[in-house]
Structure 1
Amino acid sequence: MLAREFNLRIIAGRWKGRRLLAVKGMHTRPTSDRVKEAIFNILQRCIEGANVLDLFAGTGNLGLEALSRGCARVVFVEKDPRAVDVLNKNRASLGCTEQTAVIRDDVFHAIKRLSCQERFDIIFADPPYGKGLETPLLNAIAENDVLCQDGVVILEHSSRDPQPDRVGNLVKLQDRRYGNTEISFYKKE
């Protein structure tokens, strides 16, 4: 069986309590409900009507939560075909395919492609831990100007890997630590 429930769910909004599928045997760490709730409590005034980019989207956990809470549109970027398949099933299950788009590609290539097309109010970035992708990813976001002037980047990373205070024109606003996970918030200078 390709997809299974992995204790993923929408925690608030119009789809509160709805379960999401995850990919069996995938080496990912879905964002926990505790961390997700903390992120969205901080973002609560920014979500309504926002244009969202979900990088390393996996099964769409963060982007679908944003849709449930009232964002206008989400673009998901995920390279793994198994995750994309499950993401598409989650989108169909929630009936939100019209409000979403999925780009099956490497995030760095996708960011470059998107720079010619649109800007985002909120960018979720949840790269694999321990691969050193955080700073190059923030640099790609800054260089390709995919973040709106008043937008925010939410970078999820290992609490053992502190992130720089500044990358290009992105400046760190705050960090929040939740066990082994740390969330860093960046805005344009």
Structure 2
Amino acid sequence: MSASSLKLRMMIVTALFAAIIGVLAQVTIPLPLVPITGQTLAIGLAATILGWRYGTLSILLYLALGAIGVPVFAQMSAGVGILFGPTGGYLFSFIPTALCIGLYLEKTSFNLKNAIIANIIGMFISLLLGTVWLKYIAELSWGAAFASGVAPFLIVGLIKAVLAAWIGIMVRQRLASANLLYA
């Protein structure tokens, strides 16, 4: 397979993951300030399957789609106002999250143990950056920001991190064996 053909396949898979993130964003459990969503599961999947470069590109495409008005954010929302509202820190945190997950896996190896470690690190990156943003945008105390932005997400986040690792490694192996992915 030629390099340009493989690059085209990777760009298609990257766009597909931006769409998957948008679909999983609609799986929500509403909470007062920040809902629990399927976005972070999708971010972990994108980075675990695609690696840092294409995983991060899929996040950037997802954010760009939402910014221009395509309703891909949680609860079918969109627009720049969402990016700079209380949940914006979580949305922007997806960029370094995908970058770190993908880099960790590319520097070690794409196996289940490393994917679990990488996705747990990614979960904490999202929670940290999102909570700092939430604290300042919503003018909360650190305690209130932690109570709204971290505490409700720890157990669910760990479950999603393990799921993203397990499903991600399995799908990555299958896509690579089908020549749909850089191995």
More relative contact order, 1 or 2 (CA 8 Å, 6+ apart): 2
TM-score exceeds 0.5: no
Q: Indicate the structure with greater strand content.
A: 1
Q: Which structure has the bigger radius of gyration?
A: 2
Could you state the TM-score of these two structures normalised by the residue count of structure 2?
A: 0.32
Q: Indicate the structure with greater helix content.
A: 2
Could you state the TM-score of these two structures normalised by the residue count of structure 1?
A: 0.31
